[in-house]
Structure 1
Amino acid sequence: MRTQPIKIAILAMGGEGGGVLADWIVDMGEANGYLAQTTSVPGVAQRTGATIYYVELYPEAQAEADGARPVLALMPLPGDVDVVLASELMEAGRAVQRGLVTRDRTTLVASTHRVYSIAEKSALGDGRVDSSELQKHAERAAKRFIRFDMAQAAEASGSVISAVLFGALAGAGVLPFSRAQFEATIERGGVGVKPSLKAFGSAYLRAQGEGEGEPETAAAEAPAPAPEPRHPAVRALVDRVQQKFPSPAQQFLLEGVRRLIDYQDLDYAGLYLDRMAAIAALAGDDDGRLLRETARHLALWMSYEDTARVADLKTRSTRFDRVRGEARVQDGQVLAINEYMHPRLQEICETLPAGIGRWLMDSPLPRRLVEHFTQKGRVVQTSSLRGYLMLRTVAACKRWRRSTLRYAEENRRIEEWLARIAGIAPRHPELAIEIAQCQRLVKGYSDTHERGLRNYDTVMAAVQRAGAAIAPATLRELRDAALADEHGSKLQAALARHALA
């Protein structure tokens, strides 16, 4: 039987050192008596696919014995790969889907952390792929599956994930090289040697350990301690939750209070509890599920994203710290953060007092004038004093939020939603829960909010026509259809299927 090359596929995203990892493997092979070749196919931008690096190694002594140099392949073929290295769990899933991972041959080494794809992040609902299912598929597909959170391991060692993958590859023992030969390769690189060796060493031990997989379920977290605020007004709200509402719902209610104080003020959080007290008084909610679901979704709806909220979030110190950490900014380096802002006429009108906002929306000449000046977006550098103060001024407008057109519209919809829940709950509590969960359709900002609201109005119109006769499962199907398709075609198909169009 003819000697076959060692075939290694690396799937890595930009900035993760996939090219460095491929070069390390090539350098190690060439330094230890192997002919090596590497190629790469760049992935699509914006996290729709990783770059594939492909390496083949062939023993130089065997080539001499054969009397000819081998012809090495440029791309991996399904069913013909010995080792697959994936820098992220979805990329491991993509490798399985492409047939690069096979049960009789392939060792799969992958990180279990997730960097969500554009399709996952842009879904109207929760578009995330189940990580546990991804791991199960990969486990079934591979001859051996080595996995752990390599991004966390890289962070802990001050290195990059390529060094962790290199260490896990060494620990897997599937290549004919010793640990010393792997480490010598890193040292020959001469860049970031110390942190790379640290990351390599920890990954090597993880890959060699008996329990190389992560546990399927995490240990149950201890319940969060009861908050003990110092401010007397905040303390009064916490006491109200703890004394007036059943304990299973208190965690949701306390989080809602915290969120709405941060979003607006104490009075707004008090309005939230007033609304929830009316829900708690409804008959038929024996297990408290309606109270919990309404508490969760009402807090989300009352903290809708308007221009003041977006400006506030973009100028928080915690956001600057997070961006600096993600960009790995070193002491002495300058970080510039540019925000692309493109407010539409509707957003401008919604930030104005309700009467003025409606007048502007309905006045042809002033409307066209504003639209002319807002045709093009602009870039605001929030890391500069001017840009920061500009957005902080917008954020400060939250004190007038309850007088704006947006608040009037959202408040009307919230009251209608609560009234619909209250009207259905005594007769059909399960249906009331499904109505409460329809708030999931209303989210986001600008076009995202507009599409979600359109779908929400369509679903609520169907509920209005059908009344209590609509089954909870049917309403759930309509909601899921609305979340599955931003254009609404799946929702219309579901409405037609149930004769509710």
Structure 2
Amino acid sequence: MNATQPIKIAILAMGGEGGGVLADWIVDLGEHNGYIAQTTSVPGVAQRTGATIYYVELYPEARAKADGGKPVLALMPLPGDVDLVLASELMEAGRAVQRGLVTQDRTTLIASTHRVYSIAEKSAMGDGRVDSQQLVNHANKAAKRFIRFDMAQAAEQAGSVISAVLFGALAGSGVLPFSRAQFEATVERGGVGVKPSLKAFGGAFEWVQSGSEADAPTAALPARAAPAPKDPQVRALVERVQREFPEFAHFLLLEGVRRLIDYQDVAYAGIYLDRMAKVHALQLNDGGRLVESTARHLALWMSYEDTARVAALKTRSTRFERVRSESSAKADQVVAINEYMHPRLQEICETLPGGIGRWLMNSGVPRRIVERMTQKGRVVQTSSVHGYLLLRCVAAAARWRRSTTRFAEENRFIEQWLERIAQTAAINPALALEIAECQRLVKGYSDTHVRGLRNYELVMGAAQRAGSALAPATLRELRDAALADEHGNKLRDVLARYALA
């Protein structure tokens, strides 16, 4: 660092991660140890759920007096002019690199390697996640020194927050001219959550001081024990998987069985195995790739997300526990969970028993009344008794799911998909595998499901017109185009290019 310049520190954090607390700690640390300090905050982009850049500059008070005045400190970081960047999450570290705040000749980058996925990543039709290893590689090349480990896990183990871990890693790095005791005294002056904060601080400090600046090697996963369910019907399904199917497919098939029992019942999981038995009977010499792909995607399709499924997932005890854990709420704090719900008439009709649903969809006055009532969305607080019971009533609709129009429609698509896989496998096994993978286009609920199903039908229509002469790579390109653009524009371009529109 330049002796005539302030120490320049940028902190990138999302809401609730203590970025402001960390900035205040650094300011307090400087001011109690002979430095003039200034901090500002710059709101970040909405896609990062409240991401903010906090900027701190520290200037020695003695030097300021010797210069005969107060230093003029900057209000925001500039590319190529930052000594230290602290990032509470890996994508925030990548954004700092992208903005030019991290430079190889100057910047020490301290970041957590855990990920909090952005809205764009989570809402993508396909796998929209950014490759974490690529982020690490780019950051490593850009920084003078890159200190990284899973700080979210370290904070959880210490019962603290990630800001305390970042503060400990900062102390351990030795970049700032302060001792460990001075850092710890800063935490103690805060007066809130001192004990867990110091525990998290100490763990991070020792980790960096030991020279382990990168992630620890992941321990080998233990071998999976064979399930031993107590229920005789479930046990019969497990035994059937172990008896009738090759070992390489056991894990996926058992996960499919577990998912479908949870989704509907044991009989429904039995239908899943009946369908998979037909795929296995094709006896292809492809290393089991078609069986594995179909096992995965069939289980996902058979557990499609309708309103009953969504309501059941939103009212599970494990979800309440996860939200409380992720919000770092204390035992005596009340956590309120608000759900925004905007069901369309079609979704309501699909949730009702088939006869009632069809009547409502084709009715006059009743249909208009329901449409008027659902024109605007409403907020339901699932953490309240009324909101919880309301969604539990919706979840109870799963008992007549098999009689709904939605079930009949999904079942028809599934049977057509399986038949197309079987017919194609006899001629072109590689193309059959690509057809199986096309189930990835059908996902989500409401408008997301409608768009995905529309793209699926476009792709399958093109495959049917082209027949077995269609190259597997072409079908893969069509699928990737559909996943890249939910509105179908890229897919239509590719269809036109291959004269398959």
TM-score by structure 2 length? 0.96
| Correspondence 1:66-465 to 2 at 5 A | 66-215=67-216, 218-465=218-465
Structure 2: distance between partners of 1:278 and 1:405: 26
SS in 1 for 2:406: helix
User: Does 337-346 or 111-120 show the bigger shift?
Assistant: 337-346
Which residue number in structure 2 is paired with residue 18 of structure 1?
19
The Cα of 1:308 is off from its aligned counterpart by 1.1
The Cα of 1:11 is off from its aligned counterpart by 0.4
Tell me: CA distance 1:319–1:225, structure 2 relative to 1, closer, same or farther (3 Å): same
SS in 2 for 1:228: coil
The Cα of 1:355 is off from its aligned counterpart by 4.0
Tell me: CA distance 1:2–1:245, structure 2 relative to 1, closer, same or farther (3 Å): closer
Tell me: CA distance 1:264–1:428, structure 2 relative to 1, closer, same or farther (3 Å): same
Asked if the contact 2:15/2:50 (under 8 Å) is kept, the reply is: no
Residue type at the aligned position of 2:381: Q
Asked if the contact 1:353/1:404 (under 8 Å) is kept, the reply is: yes
Structure 1: distance between partners of 2:465 and 2:362: 30
User: Does 108-117 or 149-158 show the bigger shift?
Assistant: 149-158
TM-score by structure 1 length? 0.96
Asked if the contact 2:35/2:58 (under 8 Å) is kept, the reply is: yes
- CA-to-partner distance for each residue in 1:346-386, whole Å, 9 max, x for gaps? 10111123344334334454432321121122222222223
Structure 2: distance between partners of 1:48 and 1:163: 21
Asked if the contact 2:14/2:49 (under 8 Å) is kept, the reply is: no
Q: When the two structures are aligned, how many residues end up with a matched partner?
A: 500
Residue type at the aligned position of 1:58: Y
Asked if the contact 1:11/1:53 (under 8 Å) is kept, the reply is: yes
Asked if the contact 1:283/1:426 (under 8 Å) is kept, the reply is: no
Structure 1: distance between partners of 2:418 and 2:359: 29
Tell me: CA distance 1:333–1:192, structure 2 relative to 1, closer, same or farther (3 Å): closer
Asked if the contact 2:171/2:179 (under 8 Å) is kept, the reply is: yes
Structure 1: distance between partners of 2:283 and 2:228: 32
The Cα of 1:45 is off from its aligned counterpart by 3.5
Residue type at the aligned position of 1:272: Y
Structure 1: distance between partners of 2:29 and 2:391: 52
Structure 2: distance between partners of 1:192 and 1:368: 55
The Cα of 1:24 is off from its aligned counterpart by 1.2
Structure 2: distance between partners of 1:441 and 1:266: 27
The Cα of 1:225 is off from its aligned counterpart by 0.8
Structure 2: distance between partners of 1:56 and 1:388: 49
Structure 2: distance between partners of 1:500 and 1:455: 14
Tell me: CA distance 1:60–1:335, structure 2 relative to 1, closer, same or farther (3 Å): closer
SS in 2 for 1:339: strand
The Cα of 1:2 is off from its aligned counterpart by 6.7
Structure 2: distance between partners of 1:408 and 1:40: 54
The Cα of 1:219 is off from its aligned counterpart by 4.1
Residue type at the aligned position of 1:301: W
Structure 2: distance between partners of 1:238 and 1:12: 46
SS in 1 for 2:474: helix
Structure 2: distance between partners of 1:465 and 1:117: 38
SS in 2 for 1:100: coil
Aligned sequence identity (%): 77
Asked if the contact 1:163/1:200 (under 8 Å) is kept, the reply is: yes
Structure 2: distance between partners of 1:365 and 1:431: 49
The Cα of 1:330 is off from its aligned counterpart by 3.0
Asked if the contact 1:90/1:114 (under 8 Å) is kept, the reply is: yes
Residue type at the aligned position of 2:29: M
The question of 1:3 aligning with 2:12 is answered no
User: Does 76-85 or 19-28 show the bigger shift?
Assistant: 19-28
- CA-to-partner distance for each residue in 1:163-213, whole Å, 9 max, x for gaps? 111110010001111111111111222222211111111111111122210
Structure 2: distance between partners of 1:394 and 1:59: 63
Structure 1: distance between partners of 2:85 and 2:334: 38
Gaps of 5+ in 2: none
Structure 2: distance between partners of 1:358 and 1:222: 51
Asked if the contact 2:80/2:102 (under 8 Å) is kept, the reply is: yes
Residue type at the aligned position of 2:338: N
The Cα of 1:46 is off from its aligned counterpart by 5.1
Residue type at the aligned position of 1:56: E
Gaps of 5+ in 1: none
Which residue number in structure 2 is paired with residue 492 of structure 1?
492
Tell me: CA distance 1:236–1:221, structure 2 relative to 1, closer, same or farther (3 Å): same
Asked if the contact 2:102/2:109 (under 8 Å) is kept, the reply is: yes
Tell me: CA distance 1:329–1:188, structure 2 relative to 1, closer, same or farther (3 Å): closer
The Cα of 1:30 is off from its aligned counterpart by 1.5
The Cα of 1:299 is off from its aligned counterpart by 0.2
SS in 1 for 2:437: helix
